[in-house]
Structure 1
Amino acid sequence: MISGEIREADPFELPEWLGETDVVWSADSGLRTGHRVAGRLDPAARGDGDRLVCDLLAVDEAYPTTVVGNDVRTAAHRAWRHGQVLVLDIDDRLTLAVPGREFAPDLVLESLSRLARAVGASPERYAVLLRIGGR
């Protein structure tokens, strides 16, 4: 189970540039490395050093131990069912909690599309840079 403090984050309290400019999410680890993919959000056209860590977390992984408690898992599934993504703060890292056990490219794209809509941006303004990784 994830150790550390898990809090729900309010998308309206995230940096304004997430909804105002083109954004690139870049994976810092490969998709095949497990239930948590470390990454970051960068403004595509700004060189002023803005950057926001943003991880992806597949909340249904249960072996050898559950990833998160049932309350977080249920909230992630509820948000997803309503066309949203659960935005968390885990140890001061923005984290998108997504139903599933692992990530495929389509799930990553859908997760970031939902984040874009949550901050008032068009998903057309978001791009994704993936790393393959190994099992």
Structure 2
Amino acid sequence: MSAPALAPVDPFDLPDWLGTAEVTWSTDVAGHRGAGRLGSGHLVRGRLAHAGEEHPCDLLAVDEAYPTPVADEDTRRLAHQAWRNEQVLLVEAQGRLALAVPGTDFGADRVLDALGRLAKAVGARPESYVAALRLGVVGHGG
């Protein structure tokens, strides 16, 4: 079975407040079985928030290939290239913004690194972004 093609997202098409405000990213644990625990899978559902505004923002580890690949080869290549250049590839996955990151799962360090790269992509200072990670959902991936 082939992996889905993931559509690229231009950071300039995202809400302006992502580049100008204090932003908090948090996991969407409730209601997403298997898609919220860091270190346990290729997808961590989350959202960016500021002053009552929210925007979905998931983390997608593009190298997961079992039982089926989660990203096509072009997306994987672009994600690795962006990461090597200290950037992050922004894609649309299942109708939501996702940060396409090399690897197969996420630990706290990888989450912070990806969000810092997102901040730079939208013209914000990385220190204006906060990651709210719930105890009990952080694994040992990274």
TM-score, normalised by the number of residues in structure 1 = 0.89
1:22 counterpart = 2:22? yes
Listed as ranges, the gaps of 5+ residues in structure 1 are none
Match runs of 1:1-135 below 5 Å: 3=4, 6-28=6-28, 29-43=36-50, 46=51, 49-131=52-134, 132-133=136-137
Listed as ranges, the gaps of 5+ residues in structure 2 are 29-35
The Cα of 1:91 is off from its aligned counterpart by 2.6
Where 2:39 maps in the other structure, the secondary structure is helix
Q: Hey, what's the Cα distance between the residues in 1 that align with 2:70 and 2:16? A: 30
Contact 2:3–2:68 (8 Å) recurs in 1: no
Higher normalized contact order (CA 8 Å, seq sep 6+, divided by chain length): 1
Q: Hey, what's the Cα distance between the residues in 2 that align with 1:102 and 1:33? A: 6
Q: Deviation digits for residues 66-109 of structure 1, max 9, x if unmatched?
A: 11110110010011111110000123200000001110100000
The Cα of 1:61 is off from its aligned counterpart by 1.1
Q: Hey, what's the Cα distance between the residues in 2 that align with 1:10 and 1:39? A: 19
The Cα of 1:30 is off from its aligned counterpart by 1.7
Instruction: Tell me how many residue pairs correspond in the alignment.
Output: 130
Q: Hey, what's the Cα distance between the residues in 2 that align with 1:114 and 1:88? A: 14
Where 1:113 maps in the other structure, the secondary structure is helix
TM-score, normalised by the number of residues in structure 2 = 0.85
Runs of 4+ in structure 1 deviating by more than 2 angstroms, as ranges, are: 131-135
Q: Hey, what's the Cα distance between the residues in 2 that align with 1:6 and 1:60? A: 14
1:77 is matched by which residue type in structure 2? H
